[in-house]
């Protein structure tokens, strides 16, 4: 197993460090900049009402005429760059095997080693979770780096942030599970990435339009972001058990389906 771990690290160490560095930087900057924006946000919302809709959709909650300090902090965790960075890591990692390896022909080397497909899948999954956790933790570190400069009344509660991070990690697992499934089905990495990105974009748009379009509201339970509500968690300081359970359910189901497909399919290099 050490050999397989070394192979994975050789492929994913640098990308993981880059994703982590990116998330660290974005979180540190957002934590520092957001309090300074809060003062002027009221007048922006007055002049540009659609911005309120946009922020409300991102946060997944109705916002009044003014955004509370806590709600403003929740924006940190739903900022598109933050979401794209973490999902980017999940999709990059999870579409390498088998789709990426079949695509470039290296699957023959991997499958020639005395490793069962189950073992390959399991080690890839554990490494994906470990590196994903590292990327998210680095983002948290970025938040902690600059949170000291934030006014006391704006600082989110420590336990609230932990719950949000657990919810965020569950979201990461759901995306990773879907990426593993797409990769297991496909012979082309581009197609696997495209399928997951299409699902994420559709999910994002559905979640975005649901608050102000009835037909979308009736199916918004299908959108992954419906189960990621940092604003509510920070406001209520309540463990989002149901949302985490749904996201883990999606992730584990997709992951198990991916394993089922991989263990049964015939593999030939393209």
Partner 1 sequence: MSVIATEGLTKRYGTRRGIEDVALHVSEGSLFGFLGPNGAGKSTTIRILLGFMQASEGRATVLGHDCWRESAVLKREVGYVPGDVRLYSWMTGRIALRISGRIRGRDLTQRGGELAERFGLDLSVRADRMSRGMRQKLGLLLALAHEPRLAVLDEPTSGLDPLMQDELADVLREFAARGHTVFFSSHTLSEVEQLCDRVAIVRDGRIVADESIADLRARARRTVVLHFDTPEHAAKTAAPPELVHVERTGRLWRAQLETDDPRAFARWVAAQPVADFSLSPPNLEGVFREYYRADDDGGAT
Confirm or reject binding of residue 270 to partner 1 (CB under 8 A).
Answer: no
CA distances from 260 to 166, 254, 265 (A): 27, 10, 9
Query: Does residue 9 bind partner 1 (CB under 8 A)?
Result: no
253-270 burial code (b ≥16 CB/10 A, e <16): ebbebbbebbeeeeeeee
CA distance linking residue 97 with residue 187, whole number of Å:
10
Shortest approach of partner 1 to residue 266 CB, angstroms? 4
Is 175 within 8 Å of 196 (Cβ atoms)? yes
Asked whether 206 and 222 are in contact (CB, 8 A), the reply is: yes
155 binds partner 1 per the rule CB under 8 A: no
The span from the first CA to the last CA of the chain, in angstroms, equals 27
Site for partner 1 in 11-30 (CB under 8 A): 11
Q: Is residue 6 at the binding interface for partner 1, with CB under 8 A as the rule?
A: yes
> CA torsion sign, 123 to 129 to 135 to 138?
negative
Site string for partner 1, 74-113 (x = CB under 8 A): ------------------------------xxx-xx-xxx
CB of 194 to partner 1, least distance (A): 23
Q: Which 41-60 residues touch partner 1, going by CB under 8 A? A: none
Please report how close the Cβ of residue 253 comes to partner 1 at its closest, in angstroms: 24
40 binds partner 1 (CB under 8 A): no
Residue 262: CB minimum distance to partner 1, A: 12
Tokens 């390959």 sit at which residue? 120
- What phi-psi label fits residue 101: left (phi over 0), alpha (psi between -120 and 50 degrees) or beta? alpha
Q: How far is the CB of 16 from partner 1 (least distance, A)?
A: 15
Nearer to partner 1, 4 or 84 (CB): 4
Residue 119 binds to partner 1 (criterion: CB under 8 A): yes
Q: What is the binding site for partner 1 (CB under 8 A)?
A: 1-4, 6-7, 10-11, 104-106, 108-109, 111-116, 119, 264, 266-269
């Amino acid at each position: 197993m050490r050999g397989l771990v070394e192979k994975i690290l050789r492929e994913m160490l640098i990308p993981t460090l880059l994703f982590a560095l990116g998330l660290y930087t974005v979180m540190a900057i957002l934590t520092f900049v957001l309090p300074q924006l809060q003062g002027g946000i009221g007048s922006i919302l007055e002049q540009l009402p659609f911005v309120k809709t946009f922020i409300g959709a991102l946060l997944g909650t109705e916002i009044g005429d003014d955004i509370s300090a806590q709600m403003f902090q929740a924006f940190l965790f739903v900022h598109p760059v933050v979401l794209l960075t973490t999902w980017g890591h999940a999709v990059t990692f999870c579409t390498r095997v088998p789709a990426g390896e079949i695509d470039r022909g290296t699957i023959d080397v991997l499958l020639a080693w005395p490793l069962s497909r189950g073992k390959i899948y399991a080690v890839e999954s554990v490494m994906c979770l470990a590196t994903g956790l590292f990327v998210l933790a680095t983002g948290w570190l970025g938040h902690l780096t600059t949170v000291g400069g934030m006014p006391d009344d704006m600082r989110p509660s420590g336990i609230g942030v932990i719950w949000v991070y657990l919810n965020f990690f569950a979201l990461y697992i759901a995306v990773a599970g879907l990426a593993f499934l797409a990769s297991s089905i496909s012979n082309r990495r581009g197609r696997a990435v495209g399928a997951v990105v299409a699902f994420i974009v559709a999910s994002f748009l559905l979640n975005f339009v649901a608050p102000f379009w009835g037909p979308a509201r009736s199916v918004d339970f299908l959108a992954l972001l419906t189960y990621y509500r940092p604003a509510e968690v920070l406001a209520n300081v309540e463990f989002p058990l149901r949302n985490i359970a749904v996201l883990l359910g999606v992730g584990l189901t997709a992951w198990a389906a991916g394993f089922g497909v991989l263990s049964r399919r015939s593999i030939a290099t393209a």
